[in-house]
Amino acid sequence: MKILIVGNGGREHALLWKLKKDAPSAEFFVTRPNPGMAPLATAVDLAPDDVEGLASFAQGESMSLTVVGPEIPLARGIADVFSRRSLPVFGPTAAAARIESSKAFAKELMERVGVPTAAHRAFRRWEEAQAHILEQDAPLVVKASGLAAGKGAVVATSRDEALAAAREMLQGEAFGDAGSEIVVEDFMEGEELSVFGITDGRHVTLLIPSQDHKRIGEGDTGPNTGGMGAYAPVPSVDVRLMDQIRDRIFLPVLDAMETSARPFRGLLYAGLMLTASGPKVVEFNCRFGDPETQVVLPLLADSILELLVAVARGGSIAGARVQWNGKAALNTVLASEGYPGSYETGREITMPTTSPVEDEDLLIFHAGTTIADGKLVTAGGRVFSSVGLGTDLGHARKRSLEGAEAIDFQGKVFRRDIGWRAMAGAATPEGSDQTQPAPPIRGRASRDSGATSG
């Protein structure tokens, strides 16, 4: 079996790690792999968004499966090109990927089918956005409608802040074409939740929910990033809630996508807010999330490969179940100083030599790294994921932070309080003065009918 992974970040490293465990005898190929991925696969010297080049490569090498990690190749139609050549690919068409590439489209879809989300308006003209914002009460959320690498959302605590964000996107071109249309929506209060659903377009198998930490600073302060860490499972989530998320969010959206001749096959990611009136959608993504993938996949006791192959080959996953190993996982992201703004690259990385940084309960996934002059150096805003595993989140957090401390490079930045909401009842995390108690774990996610213990 030959498997091509498109992408070379922390998410793709985790996918490669998991799929290699599922199919140890398979041959793996990766687009310009980072140094952590390189020993595990054959390098393909093509950019992840070179959709025609990748299709020709996959056809020439008779790939059994292609798994697309990033959103940009999907938005540019890699699944369409592969499908026209009868090449199995896991990922939605460009038309279906609009659920991520256009927040305005996703909002209109949710409004049409009654999926709960924040009240909103979309704008292309600054004057219209300005007039609307002046009529609203703060706080407000201003989002670039297009793809902005997870950084195109501003939570504005005042009208002036919302006006500045909207002006910067529409007139200042803060996010380029991604900000040529914006969405202004009401601020939702609650706890965030990330839920992955593997789907054949009609049936969906929900994976164990996780919680992402978007803000750069401890205590959830500072600007939004692509994600500074994540953990799973989420103690406040039970089987009943997962059933509700499936029935009220995933299935109506999938039905609407199919009805509108853009069926969604692949990984549908729902970013949710658990509000006082129930779960509401913050956003949809059309691919595995980063940094959530790095904590979800290590908790799978089953192979994920069979599900990916079935979807990629146009089959059904009706009734599919997945089992979980009963552990907890926590991901601490190591970033470059200055991220999510400008930052320097090429800083030498020192990995520990006296003790291993990867063992049965510590996984190090590379993200923004490369080799220069024979040395491992930084090459991105997010550089590593340090993923700790344990019988509970406390142990997982301890191992994750040990890994984060052991890796060294100039300007290293990371949060020490990932998972603080879940663990605040037991101990106050370093760097955070939050003391909100956490409810007990009551269930773990599974299957297309909701959530069952694994």
pLDDT tens, residue by residue, 216-233 = 999 999 988 999 999 999
pLDDT of residue 442: 29
User: What number of helices (H) and strands (E) belong to the chain?
Assistant: 14, 24
89 close to 312: Cβ distance less than 8 angstroms: yes
Sign of the CA dihedral with 75 first, then 318, 306, and 384 last:
positive
**Per-residue CA distances from 428 to 220, 431, 436 (Å):** 14, 9, 9
Peptide bond into 279 cis (omega under 30): no
Query: Could you say which of 1.10.1060.10, 1.10.357.10, 3.30.1490.20, 3.30.420.40 is the CATH number of the domain covering 119-186?
Result: 3.30.1490.20
Query: DSSP assignment of 36-58, as one string?
Result: TTGGGSEEE-S-TT-HHHHHHHH
**Which residue ranges of the chain lie beneath pLDDT 70?**
150, 353-358, 425-454
Unique residue bearing structure tokens 């990922």: 91
Look at residues 308, 330, 296, 306 and name the one whose alpha carbon lies nearest to residue 445. 296
162 close to 155: Cβ distance less than 8 angstroms: no
Q: In terms of CATH architecture, what is 2-98?
A: 3-Layer(aba) Sandwich (3.40)
pLDDT of residue 354: 55
Look at residues 322, 324, 320 and name the one whose alpha carbon lies nearest to residue 232. 324
What values do phi and psi take at 379, rounded to 5? Answer: -145, 15
pLDDT of residue 438: 30
- Interatomic CA distance for residues 26 and 238, integer angstroms: 36
Look at residues 185, 209, 191, 48 and name the one whose alpha carbon lies nearest to residue 106. 185
291 close to 229: Cβ distance less than 8 angstroms: yes
327 dihedral zone (left: phi>0; alpha: psi -120 to 50; beta) = beta
- Interatomic CA distance for residues 68 and 48, integer angstroms: 9
From-to residues of CATH 3.40.50.20 in the chain = 2-98
Polymer length in residues for the chain: 454
74 close to 286: Cβ distance less than 8 angstroms: yes
**Single-letter code of the amino acid located at 198:** I
What values do phi and psi take at 233, rounded to 5? Answer: -75, 175
Which helix (H) or strand (E) segment holds residue 404: the answer is helix 393-406
pLDDT of residue 427: 39
- Interatomic CA distance for residues 282 and 152, integer angstroms: 13
Query: DSSP assignment of 210-268, as one string?
Result: BEE--EEETTTEEEE-S-SEEEES-TT--HHHHHHHIIIIIHHHHHHHHHTT----EEE
54 close to 66: Cβ distance less than 8 angstroms: yes
From-to residues of CATH 3.30.1490.20 in the chain = 119-186
166 close to 89: Cβ distance less than 8 angstroms: no
Which helix (H) or strand (E) segment holds residue 349: the answer is strand 349-350
75 close to 68: Cβ distance less than 8 angstroms: no
pLDDT of residue 153: 85
Look at residues 394, 317, 399 and name the one whose alpha carbon lies nearest to residue 355. 399
pLDDT of residue 53: 98
**Mean residue pLDDT across the chain:** 90
